[in-house]
Amino acid sequence: MSDSGLRLRGHRRDHKVPTAHQDESRREHRAVLWGVQVRWLVLAGLTLQTSWQVFIIKWTAVPTKSYLDSTCVFFSEMVKMILSILFLAYERGSLATALGELWSSSCKDVVEIMKLAVPSLAYSVQSNLLFFSLASLSAGVQQVTYQLKIVSAATLSALLLGKSLSLKQWLALILLVVGVLLVHLSEPRVSVSADSTLTAKTLLGLLAVVFASFLSGFAGVFMEWTLKNSSSIWLRNTQLGAWGCITSLVAAVYQDGEQLYKGGLMQGFTWDVFFMIFTFAFGGLMVAMVLKYADNILRQFSTALSLSLTTVISCVAFGENHLNATFFLGTLLAIVATFVYNDVL
C-alpha cells in the first residue's frame, strides 16, 4: 500500500506517463473470463445479488420474527471473512501460506490495518440502517431512495480519488438519477390516514436510507482506494472482514445488549436466516470484486439497474408496486445511462 497514507487524491495532472499502479488498474479493467470482460461479469452478479438481498430480508422480516438484525450483520461479516481466507488459500496454494501472509501483512502494516476500521464501521452502520428502513418502507421506495448513493459515489470519487469524469459521463449520471426518480414516481400514491406514528416511522425510514446512501458512497470510495493498492483482494477483504466482525459485534451489544444476554447471538435463527446471512456475505465478496475490476461509480450503475428488477419482482411477489409507462421509461433511461457512461453508446 502507498506510503502516502490517507492522501487519496491522485496526481493525474502531474504525470503524463502512467504509473505502475495505473497500468495494473487498466489491466484489471481489461481482464477477460470465458470471453467476457470480468468487470461485466461481476457487475451482473452484483445486480442480481442486490435485488435478491432485498427480498430475502423482506421474506425473513415477518411479524413473528425472533432473530436480531444486528447479529445477522455480525455473522455475515464472519462468513465473508472465512470465505475470503479460503479464496486467499486457493490463490496462494495452501491455507498455511495464506495464514502466514495474512499474519505478516497485518503485523507489518499496523497503521494501514487500523485505517480499515473506517469502511468497516461505515458498512456495519449502513447494513443496520438498511434493515431498519426496510421495516418502514416498501422494497421499491427503499431501493429508489437508496440511489442517492450514485451522486455520493461520483462526487466523492472526484473529490477524494481525483477521478476526472468527462461531460458525457456526468450527463450519464444525471440520466441515471432521472431514470430512478421516474421509477419512483411510477408508484401509485397511497392515501394514508392521519396516523402520526406511521408518518414518523416512514420519515425515519427515509432518513435512514439517505444516511446509508452517503455511507455507501464514502465507504465505497475508501474501499476502492484500498483494494486497488492491494496485491490481493482476498487478503484485504479478510482484514476488512475482521474489522467488520469487531464493529458489528460492538454495534450488536450496544443495540441489543439485554436481548443478547437473555437469548444469545443466534436466538431465533432458522434456515432462512442462515440463507440471508450467506446472501449478505456473498454480496460483500461481489462488492470487493467490482471495486477491484471496475470502480465504485460502475458499482452504482449495477445497483441502480437492480432497482428495476427489484420493482418487477416486488410487484409479482408482494403486490407492493404497479408497473406502468413511467416505470418502463425510467428503466430504459437507467439502461441507456449505463451504456452511455461506459462509452458503448
pLDDT tens-digit map of 254-267? 888 999 988 889 98
Q: What is the pLDDT of residue 222?
A: 86
Max CA distance (Å), the chain:
64
Helices (H), the chain: 20-30, 38-60, 69-92, 95-108, 110-115, 117-134, 139-145, 148-160, 167-185, 196-228, 233-263, 271-293, 296-317, 325-341
Write the single-letter amino acid at 294.
A
Write the single-letter amino acid at 10.
G
Looking at the predicted structure, is the pLDDT value of residue 26 above 60? no
Contact criterion met (CB below 8 Å) for 239 and 116: yes
- Provide the grid cell at 18: 502512467
How sure is the predictor about 194, in pLDDT bands with cuts at 50, 70 and 90? Answer: very low
The rounded Cα 184 to chain-centroid distance in angstroms is: 20
How sure is the predictor about 308, in pLDDT bands with cuts at 50, 70 and 90? Answer: confident
Contact criterion met (CB below 8 Å) for 187 and 198: no
Among residues 76, 189, 73, 201, which one has the least CA distance to residue 130? 73
288-300 pLDDT, tens digit each? 888 888 777 877 7
Q: Which residues pair with 36 in a beta bridge?
A: 33
Q: What is the pLDDT of residue 28?
A: 54
Contact criterion met (CB below 8 Å) for 143 and 54: yes
Tell whether pTM > 0.75: no
